[in-house]
Amino acid sequence: MVAQAQMPAKQRQYAGGSRSSLKIFSGTANPELSREVTDYLETNLGQVRISPFSDGEIYVQIQESVRGIDCFVIQPTCTPVNENLMELLILIDALKRASAGRITVVMPYFGYGRQDRKAAGREAITAKLVADLLTTSGAQRVVGLDLHAPQIMGFFNILVDHLYASPVLLEYIRANLMHNDVVVVSPDVGGVARARAFAKKLNDAPIAIIDKRRTKHNEAEVLNIVGEVKGKTAIMVDDMIDTAGTIVKGAELLQKEGAKAIYACATHPVLSGPAMDRINNSPIEKLVVTNSIPHDPKRISKKIVQVSVAKLLGEAITRIHDDSSVSELFE
């Protein structure tokens, strides 16, 4: 189930141009989210044909005029990552060759974002590679949501707007999970700034940090907790949950240290491999995520609640089209 979060009422006035000068196109990665965005903006998705050839190549044709139009393409590069990324690049190229006025890519999830530096010799920096591919294909602006590392913005030579799902997640937490004895928990040292920002907006709640060491990809060894969690309601905060190994081990440690209730929230529910089983068998009572990545409601864990970022993305699109402030969304 996707819960609709209430964003501030939008003034549907297009100072930078008329509604007819704005078109929104969707790839096949998350069409339901794209439809929610267009419903919020009271418009329709642009007409595009996307189909595979028999050998797996992707065919894209824009089926309406976009000459001089401000075009937005919504496409998370979630699993299957390579197919969705290639489809996005071809969509951008098709818009460019159709003389679109401006092409803005809205990426609710930025695939390959975790490889943002060389942690060992002879590794690729795929986050930079994807940035270069998007720019080369014809994107003139990118809208990202909770990028895994903020420095990814610097990998682009075009404009990047970095959105945060925290207002949507916090709204659900305040309405459903808030208690007087809350402690916000970062699952690792790298997420302390994120946890601190959450805690500040939850009545300056205290924070705790899980000291974690990663032994190899998708595996982490949890060591200990820095901070007081005994007798408190713990809310773990992360940007994404992949195999759920880190978040579940953290929850088990919180339970061992005496936390009376354990919740978790994250923007991106990658949820690959054993994630569902781990979450179902964990002490986590509820996991709150967004719909940046789609999941079949019939297969998703009953502990998971998805809240929608459609209104957040719709607001950002409106402000970019109007040449007004995007940062004011978070002030």
pLDDT of residue 216: 67
Tell the residue number behind the tokens 């491999």, with chain if given.
273
Give the mean pLDDT of 291-307.
94
Rounded Cα distance between 81 and 223, Å, is 32
Rounded Cα distance between 319 and 323, Å, is 6
pTM of the entire structure? 0.90
Q: How confident is the model at residue 8 (pLDDT cuts 50, 70, 90)?
A: very low
Q: Do domains 2-164+310-330 and 166-307 have the same CATH topology?
A: yes
Rounded Cα distance between 173 and 67, Å, is 44
pLDDT of residue 6: 44
Contact by Cβ (8 Å): 35, 59: no
On the CB side of 305, how many CA atoms lie within 13 Å of its CA?
A: 19
**CA neighbor of 234 nearest in space, from 250, 223, 214, 222:** 250
pLDDT of residue 42 exceeding 90: yes
**% residues pLDDT > 90 (the chain):** 85
Q: How confident is the model at residue 218 (pLDDT cuts 50, 70, 90)?
A: low
Q: How confident is the model at residue 214 (pLDDT cuts 50, 70, 90)?
A: low
pLDDT of residue 248: 95
pLDDT of residue 247 exceeding 50: yes
Domain 166-307 has CATH 3.40.50.2020: yes
Rounded Cα distance between 245 and 88, Å, is 30
Q: What is the CATH number of domain 2-164+310-330?
A: 3.40.50.2020
Contact by Cβ (8 Å): 134, 105: yes
Helical residues (DSSP H) of 66-165, grouped into ranges: 81-97, 126-137
Tell the residue number behind the tokens 């903020």, with chain if given.
150
Which H or E run contains 310?
Answer: helix 310-321
Question: HEC states along 263-308?
Answer: EEEEEEECCCCCHHHHHHCCCCCEEEEECCCCCCCCCCCCCEEEEE
- List the beta bridge partners of residue 18: none
pLDDT of residue 14: 44
pLDDT of residue 180: 85
pLDDT of residue 77: 98
- Other C-beta atoms closer than 10 Å to the C-beta of 136 total 11
Contact by Cβ (8 Å): 85, 115: no
**CA neighbor of 14 nearest in space, from 23, 6, 5:** 23
DSSP type of residue 256: H
**CA neighbor of 165 nearest in space, from 311, 270, 286, 31:** 311
Tell the residue number behind the tokens 């209104």, with chain if given.
311
**CA neighbor of 285 nearest in space, from 248, 327, 239, 241:** 248
Domain borders along the chain are 2-164+310-330, 166-307
Rounded Cα distance between 190 and 96, Å, is 38
